[in-house]
Amino acid sequence: MTVRVITGQGVDACPDGFLALYEHSDYNLPNGGGRILLTDEAIPNLKAHDFNDQVSSVIKKIYNCSITLWTDTNYQGTTFPLQESISEYRTMTDFSKVDVKQNDTISSVQIKKW
């Protein structure tokens, strides 16, 4: 069980078995890099990792679990459920709620192992 923040860019910055939250859209690529939070466990409050309201793109290389991003701490607010079959979210509008601007709003990450 690990949470760590690195700097980097691109899909390959996310190791197998982890969820990667990028501070910029397009996996930090247009910005020439940036902060990436890697986790394989739930995070009830992203402030603990200095990553509150910063997520702009997501890579999922963690399997056999359901993952939901929330706009408030402790798994409350607006939900962004990740689809089992989709591993790349280039921007926050790649989630199902395309009518809602939710860039830089995620505050908690729920990971439930099956």
Binding site for Ca ion (CB under 5 A): 53, 71, 105, 107
Minimum CB–partner distance for residue 46 and Ca ion (Å): 8
Nearer to Ca ion, 2 or 74 (CB): 74
d(CA 68, CA 99): 18
Q: How far is the CB of 71 from Ca ion (least distance, A)?
A: 5
Give 12 or 53: the residue with its C-beta nearer to Ca ion.
53
Residue with smaller CB distance to Ca ion, 31 or 45:
45
User: How is residue 94 annotated by DSSP?
Assistant: G
Shortest distance in whole angstroms from residue 4 CB to Ca ion: 21
Q: Phi/psi of residue 11, each to 5°?
A: -65, -35
Residue 12: CB minimum distance to Ca ion, A: 28
Give the CB-side neighbour count of residue 100, counting CA atoms within 13 A: 12
User: Of 73 and 87, which has the nearer Cβ to Ca ion?
Assistant: 73
Name the closest residue to Ca ion (Cβ). 107
d(CA 110, CA 27) in angstroms, rounded, equals 21
User: Which CA distances in Å does 68 have to 17, 49, 81, 110, 112?
Assistant: 16, 18, 4, 5, 9
